[in-house]
Amino acid sequence: MTSRYEEFDSLRGLAALMVLIGHYLMVYPSYANYQYDENSPYMVYFFKETPLRLIFSSGNESVILFFVLSGFVLYLSINSAKFDYSTYVIKRVFRIYLPYLFAISMAISAKMLLSDTGLPFVSTWFDKSWKTLDSPTLLIQHFLFIGQYNTDAYNNVIWSLVHEMRISIIFPVLIFLFIRKKLIYSLFLLFGLSALTTLILYVFGSGLSITSVLLSFHYCTLFLMGAILAKYRLELFAYASNMKKKIKMVWLIVAIICFMYEGIIGEMDFLNNYIFRDYVVSCGVCIFITISVSSQKVSRLLRSSPLTFLGKISYSLYLYHLVSLFSFMYLFYSKLPIILLLVCSFIFSILLSSAAYLFIEKPSMKLGSYFTKTKRIDSIEKTIELKRKVG
């Protein structure tokens, strides 16, 4: 079975689209400030606490999907016989960091040019961004990327990329420590790590920055869930492929329920702890991943042209959709109805993301491949030269 799954790109694309939709609706105060009570607007309730939540309010859940999928894909590259750590890190830097630099530079420039005044009647969520005073320290923190800083200042979504880059750097070590054993040992070690990180967050988690290193250790467990799934993918996908359609449908429903866990639990705060929620959602993600490959109908749908295109631009869509949204809000808030403004911003986000994929992402990946190829050639030449000297 192939180690390249186009279905996963489409899953990323759908997740990025759900993040976009959720953020665009957050400009409405009634949506952003929603509480689980009888006085909430009916339409907001409809989007938040019915199956429509899957489309309109699954931003955090989509990030969990990104993390689990990253663990799956990184395991396949790390477990390769030709794995070289420095090559791996170089490619990750060029894949994640270089496109990020372009996106954050655009966000900073747009914020400085456009956000000279506040906007009335916009949600408190919207007010978290583009209102912070610029400073050399804040700019340096953003360009250095993986520290702890106010990630809401220019582009809210970058908090997840901080964790992604951090975990990517140490992930080969985690694979060696946790995934080299038999399944029962890997699950035992993963459970132990989960319990430890949960305890640490319970004791020290009050007031943590969203880019805290402690949170990175928590998200490591989600990466490792993806890695375990990748290690046993052949057996699992083969088993799932042979299941009856009704059984697959039941599992798909279970995955959707897990993915919408926060909306289903609602006001029961003791069950809505974000740590527990992340693990429930990640279990749903693992089922989604399995069904996406083992079900011919789902696989065929995810391999369709519109979804594969969405998958290709998913990283750029994630990076640029808020830059587009905030820019359009500041430029046209008093000139266009909000719904029309959001539609125009959505179209521009797709166009901008497509351009960023073609002219930033792809060249960045090629550049990373070029440097790693040059590194391998230099290594081979040094080996040949050393053999000549010894001979």
Q: What is the per-residue DSSP string for 175-192?
A: HHHHSSS-HHHHHHHHHH
357 DSSP assignment: I
Of 273, 196, 275, 189, give the one whose Cα is nearest residue 224: 189
Torsion of CA 147, 150, 155, 160, to 10 degrees: 50
What token pair was written down for 15?
A: 């997740």
- Model's pTM, two decimal places? 0.92
CA of residue 242 relative to chain centroid, distance: 31
Which residue type does 253 have?
A: I
Contact 40, 339 (CB under 8 A): no
φ/ψ region of 150 (left if φ > 0, alpha if ψ in -120 to 50, else beta) reads beta
End-to-end CA gap in the chain: 44
Please give the angle made by the CA atoms of 9, 11 and 13, to the nearest 5 degrees. 70
Rg (CA), the chain: 22
What token pair was written down for 157?
A: 């979504």
Sign of dihedral through CA atoms 313, 79, 213, 11? positive
Question: By CB neighbour count within 10 A (0-12 exposed, 13-18 middle, 19+ buried), where does 144 fall?
Answer: exposed
Q: Tens-digit pLDDT profile for the chain (391 aa)?
A: 446 789 999 999 999 999 999 999 999 888 887 755 555 566 777 777 777 888 888 899 999 999 999 999 999 999 887 889 999 999 999 999 999 999 999 999 999 999 876 677 788 888 888 988 899 999 999 999 988 889 999 999 999 999 999 999 999 999 999 987 789 999 999 999 999 999 999 888 778 889 999 999 999 999 999 999 999 999 999 999 999 999 999 999 999 999 988 877 765 555 567 888 999 999 999 999 999 999 999 999 999 999 999 999 999 999 999 999 999 999 999 899 999 999 999 999 999 999 999 999 999 999 998 888 765 555 544 554 554 555 5
